[in-house]
A = this chain, B = another copy of it.
């Protein structure tokens, strides 16, 4: 008898459960594992023996998790200690796994989680422990190395671009429309903000400027650009990353403490995120007093109702393929996505060494940023477009998505 274990880690996405169901479906179909266990709250919960046997839950209750956003198994942000300094956690963990006769552990997460995959796999090899450890990629930020893109990113792009189309239309109705700023997530990288370029009407982008963390934010240049565009069009739509940094590499939003700097002409403090800082700059510099903002917030990573079917199916596939790779005896890898073709779009999965993914960041490519540093190129649009295709068949009840909770 051999069992397997699946768990989720890091920030949720709309499609992280699709990967979990992918693991479950492949394991059930293959019948290599007698039971599929889930670890609750990631590695942190597993260390507390928070395991549930999914084989004892009716599949009819589980299957709809494929279309339920956020981490159904709970999550954690927990870093394993270096086993050379202290291996007590490792002993505890593998004892718990041994008690449940677990021979394969599938960990769905981002680059921190891939470090856990790396270190656990190393430990099994050092101590001849008969447990395979495989990582399954997940992050809306799309900042994982060694994979063409990360499950979760496509759905976030789709929600962002859709929200931009709609807020652009909303902000274009008056004769004096002013300036609109949308703020996206992406603390370190500009992938999410770049998706603003997908929003087009009649083939023309609705966003005028896209500001990414990869390009230093220069206040004077920003104000000149916005001012000129506003004079030309009488309205400007700006997409900005929450992670914008100045020329010294400091986050703009750190300046939030410098309150005196961010009062508008009415004496109101305009604080919060990057969008409010940009708003204050525009107002203070007299470009326009009509500035509206929209912070898309956690909906970017949770909006299953506006998700990409392609993204869901890929999230599901990397889960399924993780099990297949385990059956081949692989360990210490992350299942990666390799793009075979763009038009028609096709992918295959490959294995990437977890050590090459762990704790590294894939930045938005410099050559996909225009020379003015305020938009992205058509290469970026071609890269993102296939990832947002299709709408999933989300079941509904009383007019709302029918989402499932495993724990409550």
Residue from the list B69, B76, B162 in contact with A169, Cβ < 8 A: B69
Residue A400 contacts which of B71, B199, B305, B396 (CB distance < 8 angstroms)?
B199
A170 engages B400 (CB within 8 Å): no
Closest B residue by C-beta to A381: B398
- Complex: A44 Cα to B175 Cα, angstroms: 10
Determine the chain B residues whose CB is within 8 A of the CB of A391 once the complex forms: 396
Instruction: Identify which of B76, B271, B298 contacts A171 (C-beta below 8 A).
Output: B298
Q: Which residues of B are found within 8 Å of A170, using beta-carbon distances?
A: 12, 69-70, 298, 301-302
Contact of A276 with B by CB under 8 A:
yes
With contact pairs A163-B299, A175-B41, A302-B169 given, residues A385 and B403 touching in the complex (Cβ less than 8 Å) = no
Task: Give 1 or 0 for each of A373-408: 1 = CB within 8 Å of chain B CB.
Answer: 000000000000100111100001011110111001
B residues less than 8 Å from A408 (CB atoms): 202
Chain B neighbourhood of A162, CB < 8 A: 305, 400-401
| CB-nearest residue of chain B to A259 | B269
Does A24 have its Cβ within 8 Å of any Cβ on chain B? Answer: no
Nearest Cβ in chain B — how far from A386, in angstroms?
8
In the complex, A124 has a CB within 8 A of chain B = no
Closest to A396 in B: B391
Number of A residues whose C-beta is below 8 Å from B? 71
A134 at the interface (CB under 8 A from B): no
Let me know if B297 and A294 touch, CB within 8 A. Answer: yes
The residue on B at minimum CB distance from A174 is: B75
Query: Is the Cβ of B401 less than 8 Å from the Cβ of A165?
Result: yes
User: A274 vs B76: C-alpha distance in the bound complex, in angstroms?
Assistant: 30
Which one, B75, B169, B399, contacts A12 given CB within 8 A? Answer: B169
Kindly identify which residue among B45, B388, B400 contacts A158, using a CB–CB cutoff of 8 Å: B400
CA distance A169 to B173 in the complex (A): 34
Distance between A115 CB and nearest chain B CB, rounded to angstroms: 19
The reply on A315 being an interface residue by CB < 8 A is no
Contacting residues of chain A (250-287) with chain B, CB-CB under 8 angstroms: 256-257, 259, 267-272, 276
A5 on the interface (CB 8 Å rule)?
A: no
Beyond A259-B259, A294-B299, is A305–B166 a contact (Cβ under 8 Å)? Answer: yes
* A306 interface residue (CB < 8 Å to B): yes
Q: Does B166 contact A302, Cβ atoms closer than 8 Å? A: yes
In the assembled complex, the CB of A165 is this many whole angstroms from the nearest CB of chain B, namely 6
- CB-CB under 8 A from A270, the residues of chain B are 271
Closest to A399 in B: B388
Let me know if A1 is at the binding interface, CB within 8 A: no
- Whether a CB of chain B sits under 8 angstroms from the CB of A3 is no
Chain B residues within an 8 Å CB radius of A8: 173
Q: List 16 A-B contacts (CB under 8 A).
A: A8-B173, A12-B169, A41-B174, A41-B175, A162-B401, A163-B303, A167-B297, A170-B301, A198-B398, A200-B398, A269-B269, A272-B272, A292-B298, A295-B295, A306-B306, A391-B396
5 closest A-B pairs by beta carbon, nearest first, are A70-B169, A388-B399, A166-B302, A170-B302, A75-B173
Give chain A's interface residues, CB within 8 Å of chain B.
8, 12, 14, 41, 44-45, 68-71, 74-77, 158, 161-163, 165-167, 169-175, 198-202, 256-257, 259, 267-272, 276, 292-295, 297-299, 301-306, 308, 385, 388-391, 396, 398-401, 403-405, 408
**Other A-B pairs beyond A12-B173, A74-B173, A166-B299, 11, CB < 8 Å:** A12-B169, A41-B173, A44-B175, A76-B174, A158-B400, A166-B305, A256-B269, A257-B267, A257-B268, A269-B269, A389-B399
